[in-house]
Structure 1
Amino acid sequence: SNLKNTIALDFHHTNETDMVFWTDVIDDKIYRGTVIGGSLSNIEVVVQTGLSTAEGLAVDWIGENLYWVESNLDQIEVAKLNGSYRRTLVAGEMESPRAIAVDPRDGHLFWTDWDNSLPRIERCSLAGLNRQIVVKVVNGG
């Protein structure tokens, strides 16, 4: 993967290894690599099909899950760090979802929606339940 096409990036740090995850918007894939001696090695594809525009990416370091925002498909997906057990977590009622952040200790997922009529930050549980608006931007800020 050419890192110049990356628009979302996150990392996973453990006692054994440091992994970096990123989306490539030209290849429409999610990659991961291991940081060894300051360089990225062992680069592999984690998600290689069904991506349209993955613009946000977040690693749950406790549950070892990878969450991403599909801005063209208006949905949030999740998979294990190796790409297995992939599923759609949240779909619909989004205009332009972008950034995503995970709080695995409290069990929440947060994302922005750059909706022209109602820009907002939303959240749900890590299982995709209890979706709610956390912050609304009214009258352009």
Structure 2
Amino acid sequence: AAEPRSDDAAELYHRTRAEGTAALRAAGIAHASRAEIAEVIGDHVRIEQVDGSPRSGGSSWQSLSRGTGTIEADFLNGEIVLLGRVYGVPTPVNEALQRLANRAAAERRAPGFMSPAQVLTEAGVPHA
């Protein structure tokens, strides 16, 4: 398999975030900007090693790592997908992430079982 390209990961991140922002904006739901979040958090929150183990991922990554069979994609990506449907905003990347995350959890797959390029392909969006 080809090594995942960092530009694919960046593309996935930016498309996911842009869909979310567009859906929230269409619904009239205010949200904090990155600058506002950084200002509030300041140096109160740090991502660092715990007992010598590096932090590898967020809560969804942790759910897959623990093999719980559940994941929070319906409450994260799913809410964006729902708002997108209600307000006519396309959300193909969030839809793919929701579907793939739920499948990964149900099948007890490990985090990273798909590359960012594969997720983008699954979402049907053009990428490098």
TM-score (norm 2): 0.25
Query: Which protein has the bigger helix share?
Result: 2
Query: Which protein has the bigger strand share?
Result: 1
Rg larger in structure: 2
Highest relative contact order (Cα 8 Å, sep 6+), 1 or 2? 2
